[in-house]
Amino acid sequence: MSTVKEAVEVEVPVHTAYDQWTQFEEFPNFMEGVEEVRQLDDRHNHWVTKIGGVRREFDTEIVDQLPDERITWRSTTGETQQKGMVRFQRVDDTHTRVELVMDVEPSGAAEKAGDMLGMIDRRVKGDMRRFKEFIEQRGDESGAWRGRIKPG
């Protein structure tokens, strides 16, 4: 399993960064290889990705969500196993540090080779950079979900 960590500082208040991240169906706007995310309910999302010509579908479950602080998830179906957390830290009134930590277990020879070459790490770095550009250009979130999901 590979662990990927990346952080960016975005020029928006913490609530704006957090609220935008809760808009999972907007992920294809800044995540490379993500074709679709469909929110099934407050806890579950269905993903469609196409990376290196390989199309995958899988479901994720949010296991912990605390507004303006963190969202933790894990995959529940599909060939690629992953879990992760995104944290939001207020820097000041107009800046937020967004940190993503993901554990990914690639499946298939091509994905494992790509992981060894650092492709997952580069993809996540690019996604975080694109999130920064996306939210700063908007200046405002496209929606929000402020509910609390507790582990267990």
Average pLDDT, the chain: 93
- Write the burial class of residue 110 (CB in 10 Å: 0-12 exposed, 13-18 middle, 19+ buried): middle
The reported pLDDT for the residue numbered 51 is 79
- With the C-alpha atoms ordered 26, 31, 37, 41, is the resulting torsion angle positive or negative? negative
CA–CA separation, 83 and 105 (whole Å): 9
Looking at the predicted structure, is the pLDDT value of residue 110 above 70? Answer: no
pLDDT tens digits, 26-55: 999 999 999 999 999 999 999 999 877 889
The reported pLDDT for the residue numbered 112 is 67
Q: How many CB atoms lie within 10 A of CB 52?
A: 11
Q: What is the dihedral of CA 6, 120, 63, 26, to 10 degrees?
A: 80
Q: What is the dihedral of CA 84, 86, 87, 92, to 10 degrees?
A: 160
The reported pLDDT for the residue numbered 115 is 63
The reported pLDDT for the residue numbered 106 is 74
The reported pLDDT for the residue numbered 107 is 75
The reported pLDDT for the residue numbered 95 is 98
The dihedrals phi and psi of 122, each to the nearest 5 degrees, come to -65, -40
